[in-house]
Amino acid sequence: MSSKGKLFVVSGPSGVGKGTIVRRLDKTDAVLSVSATTRQPGKGEKDGIDYWFISRSEFEERIEKGMFLEYAEVFGNLYGTPTDKTQEAVESGKNVILEIDVQGGLQVKKKWPEAGMIFIMPPDMLELEKRIRNRARDSEETIRKRLEEAEKEIEIGKKNYQHFVVNNVLDEAVSEVQEIINSH
């Protein structure tokens, strides 16, 4: 009989590099969770690979049935982590990595208390601002909002997460997160 995997939540403020870190992790014994969404597929996105694309009514029905570990509405679209897919992967011995915001992370922690909670921190707020600006996709107002939100998220993270990784040098941050996952 194979041993069970474990669930890991990776969160951090916008622009901290959590997506980049998660994509670079060794996926030998781990899988990235695929979220469900009500938004339309983007160019080149595939159902079941990038997202599970479902209708709003189907999503709402699944909420009623408690079929999501966490969910949220973002810019008019619903996003959520399907409980069944996560459970199947963990039962099969895989570690499952959820890259989600802190609000989603708190929802997961309530439903799955044994989840490994990993928070990615910026070296400092000036560096975070620089990274957000370098993406060159946000207005000045959006940048200001993201930085305000980042401060709140960091406070929530400090109170609710077990592991903290500062993303100063990307390779080192990837190694630290990998080490946390491997040690569980």
Residues 6+ apart with CB under 8 A from 6: 90, 95, 96, 114, 115, 116, 181, 184
Mean pLDDT value of segment 93-105: 93
Question: What is the token pair recorded at 97?
Answer: 């990595």
Dihedrals phi, psi of 26, to nearest 5 degrees: -70, 120
Q: Is the pLDDT of residue 1 over 70?
A: no
Is 16 within any annotated ligand binding site?
yes
Q: How far is CA 152 from CA 11, 70, 137, 144, 159, in A?
A: 13, 20, 22, 13, 11
Dihedrals phi, psi of 127, to nearest 5 degrees: -65, -40
Is 14 within any annotated ligand binding site?
yes
Q: Which helix (H) or strand (E) holds 138?
A: none
Q: For residue 45, what is the DSSP state?
A: -
Question: How far is the C-alpha of 105 from the C-alpha of 116, rounded, in Å?
Answer: 10
Is 12 within any annotated ligand binding site?
yes
Question: What is the token pair recorded at 22?
Answer: 């998660």
pLDDT of residue 2: 55
Q: How confident is the model at residue 29 (pLDDT cuts 50, 70, 90)?
A: confident
Is 17 within any annotated ligand binding site?
yes
Is 48 within any annotated ligand binding site?
no
Enumerate the domain spans of the chain.
7-182
pLDDT in tens, 107-118: 999 999 999 999
Residue 96: CA atoms inside 13 Å, Cβ hemisphere, count? Answer: 27
pLDDT in tens, 84-93: 999 999 999 9
Q: What are the start-end ranges of the E strands in the chain?
A: 7-11, 30-32, 36-37, 52-53, 68-74, 77-82, 95-99, 116-121, 163-166
pLDDT in tens, 35-59: 999 999 888 889 998 899 999 999 9
Choose the CATH number for 7-182 among 3.40.50.300, 1.10.10.10, 1.10.3720.10, 2.40.50.140. Answer: 3.40.50.300
pLDDT in tens, 126-183: 999 999 998 877 889 989 999 999 999 999 999 999 999 999 999 999 999 999 999 9
